[in-house]
Amino acid sequence: MTPPEAPADSVHAGSDQPRAGLSCLTRLKSGQVLKNRADFLRAARGPRVVTPGFVMQIRARGDDAPLRVGFTCSKKVGNAVARNRAKRRLREIARLELPEHGMPGTDYVLIGRHQVTATRDFDQMRQDLRAALTRK
């Protein structure tokens, strides 16, 4: 609900930045984000690439549909605050790198690592993802 003194269309008016939230990822729409457990389990059976900042699981679906991406962090990553921070960082590197370097028709699952994903240098994480996408 917008406050009465702020018109509804003035929020982000004149700005070319998308609104916050997962459904507004640049070039990654909410239909391209994995939500179902079955999709995560299918990706877990595929190849996996381990990087210093995270683990990436890859599943080639074999169609020309847009790529899809999922994010997960177990309780080993830390408390809820640490897990959420790690997932936010994973979402951001996926938003920046996957549209350019990802393959259509592929599912990617990014898994946070214990005490690393939330604290690793952001540029290093982006380089990790680019390297993982070329190693697959």
Q: How far apart are CA 84 and CA 9, in angstroms?
A: 30
Residue 50, beta-bridge partner list: 55
Quick one: pLDDT at residue 17? Answer: 46
The pTM (predicted TM-score) of the whole model is 0.77
pLDDT tens column, 7-43: 555 444 454 544 433 333 455 565 689 999 999 999 9
Quick one: pLDDT at residue 5? Answer: 65
Please name each of the domains of the chain with its CATH number: 28-135 (3.30.230.10)
Residue 78: its H or E element: none
pLDDT tens column, 53-71: 999 999 999 888 899 999 9
Beta strands in the chain (DSSP E): 48-50, 54-60, 68-72, 106-112
